[in-house]
A = this chain, B = another copy of it.
Amino acid sequence: METRSQLREQVTRKLLDSGINPTRQRLEIGVCLFEKDKHISADQVLELVNRGACEVSKATVYNTLGLFAERGLVRELVITPNKVVYDTNVSDHHHLYNVDTGDLQDLETDELHLNALPRLDDGVQIDGVDIIIRVKNKTPA
């Protein structure tokens, strides 16, 4: 498939730009991430990757996602202790989470933003701002 090989090239470039050696396993994982282009859990990545012809271990998926997050290729979102997902959208935005359905949506900063950041101590700088709006269904009945 043409687009598949294009994606492969794009991902290779992304990895090189981030100083990551584009090995077979990392490429497979990267393609799965950016192909889906949505919030995705480590488990889902593992399943997607192994649906293809190549075997990648669980440990490698976790370590690679951690590496990608550290280098800024993806953003790690901690929704609950048991729900950690990776977001390929690394631009400045926030999230809306439905605790009943598990649905997770992006909120762009024009829909939601802080009026001001707090005064910080000298010696520290912003590393990130995470905002999660949790909603629930009105009539659980």
* Interface residues in chain A, defined as those with a beta carbon under 8 Å from any beta carbon in chain B: 78-81, 84, 96, 98-99, 107, 111-118, 120, 123-139
Contact = CB atoms under 8 A, between A and B. Distances in A.
Contact of A112 (B79, B96, B117): B117
B129 A124 contact: no
Contacts of A80: 78
- Give this chain's copy count: 2
* Pairs A-B, 10 closest by C-beta atoms: A127-B134, A127-B136, A124-B135, A128-B134, A111-B118, A115-B115, A130-B132, A131-B131, A112-B118, A81-B84
B114 A138 contact: no
Nearest to A122: B138
A125 B114 contact: no
Nearest to A95: B130
Contact of A98 (B98, B107, B124, B131): B124
Contacts of A128: 134
A26 to B, nearest CB: 22
Contacts of A127: 99, 134-136
